[in-house]
């Protein structure tokens, strides 16, 4: 069972006010999550979560995280612009394949630049110039495993630089006069285990000791990046950030303290873990259809939530109007001219009748932000369910004039 953060009657009040589909975010849950993370890492002086803006690039959400002492991690110039405009001062720029202009802007606003490639050291030096602080992104190659379980395949990943490039990189940076250094690594995505961060930390802490021995460089920070996952499936057990923080602490004491590196600050760049469970995609049943399968057609589609169509990801669905209806096996589909526009395939759900309100769970991260406009389906609204129980529109739904706004030689008013 997955329990939505809002009751059916409270949601009815909101759907009476705002047309579906929309993304709904839970302010209380977001704040509690940020506080739990900061508490779990309070043992580390200088700990900072740089929330991955790409997960939920919505100013009202970023403001909440800012109030909870989080910084931001940006990947593009526009994410940097938004963060700057929101008054963030702790900004990480973890980009890849980056244009010179974006590095220049990152430097201008004082963001910490995290270089994805060894080649980018020379590129940055020749273009925007090297700042006082530089971080390098590490890719150890091979596979990333926890025990016998393979979690991901860094060797096939386009991100980061090799071990030898990283060591050489620090030598180069020091010779060029850079003063402060960090490392960053993202080796597995959506890990539903409390062991990912401690294992990643062990690899990165060991590397920090080696960097000190081989180059004389003492890192100032280690960025564990994103990758802590969420229990999208009801049978999965949610990660426990207190256990994760304790696990990283133990490795810190074991590896870094004896090496005289106890000053190193731990950074994170979590997106999914921070926001996914605190967002719901709210949609209504438009039609039923019966052919070789039974279909429930809803007013949301893959443009509002791409993950199921793109990765075959599971998102739990609750029928808020008819939770105790007779279970039937259905496909829940949107209206795109694409057969992968399905939120659920052959899933047992309580009977979904035309007009029923369904919520699709865990859509608060990499949900709205991965949206697009295929078939001229427009982006939905985003609504904040505030701590005081009221709903606030934080992004209106797109209108046709937004869709036409970038066109030349076409005036739809005529
Ligand atoms: C560089 C970087 N940092 C952080 C994140 C956030 O990852 P997650 O949402 O899995 O925590 C991402 C996700 O793509 C990323 O690319």
Q: What are phi and psi of 46, to 5 degrees?
A: 100, 0
Ligand 1 neighbourhood includes 224 CB (under 6 angstroms):
no
The tokens for 173 are 């940076």
pLDDT at 206: 98
Q: What span, in angstroms and rounded, lies between the C-alpha atoms of 255 and 262?
A: 9
Residue 126 CA, distance from chain mean position: 32
pLDDT at 374: 98
pLDDT at 412: 77
Q: In this structure, what DSSP letter does residue 81 have?
A: H
Distance 348 CA to ligand 1 centre (A): 32
* Ligand 1 pocket mutation, candidates 192, 225, 229, criterion most atoms within 8 A of CB: 225
- Name the closest-CA residue to atom 10, ligand 1: 227
Ligand 1 neighbourhood includes 169 CB (under 6 angstroms):
no
Q: In this structure, what DSSP letter does residue 387 have?
A: T
Ligand 1 neighbourhood includes 191 CB (under 6 angstroms):
no
DSSP 168-235: HHHHHHHHTT--EEEEE----SSB-STTHHHHHHHHHHHHHHHHHHHH-PPPSEEE--S-B----STT
Atom of ligand 1 nearest to the CA of 94: 1
Q: What is the CA radius of gyration of the chain?
A: 23
Atom of ligand 1 nearest to the CA of 75: 1
Dihedral (Cα; 143, 144, 146, 152), 10-degree rounding? -90
Q: Please name each of the domains of the chain with its CATH number.
A: 90-269 (3.20.20.10), 277-404 (2.40.37.10)
Atom of ligand 1 nearest to the CA of 189: 10
Q: Are 274 and 226 in contact (CB under 8 A)?
A: no
Q: What span, in angstroms and rounded, lies between the C-alpha atoms of 8 and 5?
A: 10
- Name the closest-CA residue to atom 12, ligand 1: 226
What number of other Cβ atoms are within 10 A of residue 213's Cβ?
Answer: 10
Parallel, antiparallel or unpaired: strands 279-290 and 342-350: unpaired
* Ligand 1 pocket mutation, candidates 37, 48, 55, criterion most atoms within 8 A of CB: 55
Distance 188 CA to ligand 1 centre (A): 10
Low-confidence stretches of the chain (pLDDT < 50) are none
Q: Are 18 and 222 in contact (CB under 8 A)?
A: no
Q: What span, in angstroms and rounded, lies between the C-alpha atoms of 134 and 181?
A: 5
Q: Which candidate, 31, 32, 80, places its Cα nearest to that of 54?
A: 80
What number of other Cβ atoms are within 10 A of residue 114's Cβ?
Answer: 28
Atom of ligand 1 nearest to the CA of 273: 11
CA dihedral for 199, 52, 60, 42, sign (positive or negative): positive
Atom of ligand 1 nearest to the CA of 55: 9
pLDDT at 345: 98
Ligand 1 neighbourhood includes 115 CB (under 6 angstroms):
no
Ligand 1 neighbourhood includes 96 CB (under 6 angstroms):
no
Half-sphere exposure of 371 (CA within 13 A, CB side): 27
Kindly give, in sequence order, each residue whose CB lies less than 8 Å from that of residue 234, ignoring residues fewer than 6 positions away: 1, 2, 316
pLDDT at 1: 84
Classify residue 387 as left (phi > 0), alpha (psi -120 to 50) or beta: alpha
Atom of ligand 1 nearest to the CA of 184: 1
pLDDT at 373: 97
Q: In this structure, what DSSP letter does residue 390 have?
A: -
pLDDT at 414: 76
* Ligand 1 pocket mutation, candidates 91, 184, 269, 278, criterion most atoms within 8 A of CB: 269
Atom of ligand 1 nearest to the CA of 227: 10
């Amino acid at each position: 069972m997955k329990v939505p953060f809002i009751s059916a009657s409270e949601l009815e009040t909101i759907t009476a006010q705002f047309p579906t589909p929309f993304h709904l975010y839970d302010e209380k849950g977001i704040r509690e999550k940020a506080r739990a993370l900061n508490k779990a890492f309070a043992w580390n002086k200088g700990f900072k979560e740089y929330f991955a803006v790409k997960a939920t690039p919505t100013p009202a959400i970023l403001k909440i995280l800012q109030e909870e002492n989080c910084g931001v991690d940006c990947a593009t110039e526009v994410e940097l612009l938004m963060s700057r405009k929101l008054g963030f001062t702790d900004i990480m720029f973890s980009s890849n394949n980056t244009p010179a202009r974006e590095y220049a802007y990152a430097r201008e606003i004082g963001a910490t630049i995290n270089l994805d490639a060894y080649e980018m050291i020379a590129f940055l030096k020749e273009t925007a110039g090297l700042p006082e602080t530089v971080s390098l992104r590490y890719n150890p190659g091979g596979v990333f495993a926890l025990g016998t379980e393979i979690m991901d395949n860094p060797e096939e990943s386009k991100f980061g630089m090799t071990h030898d490039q990283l060591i050489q990189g620090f030598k180069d940076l020091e010779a060029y006069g850079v003063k402060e250094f960090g490392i960053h690594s993202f080796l597995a995505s959506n890990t539903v285990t409390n062991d990912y961060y401690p294992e990643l930390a062990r690899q990165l802490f060991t590397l920090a000791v080696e960097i000190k021995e081989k180059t004389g460089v003492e890192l100032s920070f280690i960025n564990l990046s994103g990758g802590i996952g969420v229990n999208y499936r009801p049978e999965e057990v949610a990660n426990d950030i207190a256990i994760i923080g304790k696990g990283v602490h133990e490795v810190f004491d074991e590896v870094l303290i004896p090496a005289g590196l106890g000053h190193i600050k731990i950074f994170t760049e979590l997106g999914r873990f921070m926001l996914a469970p605190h967002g719901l995609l709210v949609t209504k049943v438009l039609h039923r259809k019966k052919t070789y399968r039974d279909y429930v057609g809803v007013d949301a589609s893959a443009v509002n939530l791409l993950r199921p169509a793109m990765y075959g990801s599971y998102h739990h669905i609750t029928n808020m109007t008819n939770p105790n209806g007779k279970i039937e096996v259905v496909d829940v589909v949107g209206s795109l001219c694409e057969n992968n526009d399905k939120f659920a395939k052959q899933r047992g759900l309580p009977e979904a009748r035309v007009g029923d309100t369904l919520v699709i769970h865990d859509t608060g991260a990499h949900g709205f932000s991965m949206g697009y406009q295929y078939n001229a389906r427009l982006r939905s609204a985003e609504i904040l369910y505030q701590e005081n129980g009221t709903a606030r529109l934080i992004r209106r739904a797109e209108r046709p004039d937004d869709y036409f706004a970038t066109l030349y030689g076409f005036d739809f008013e005529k």
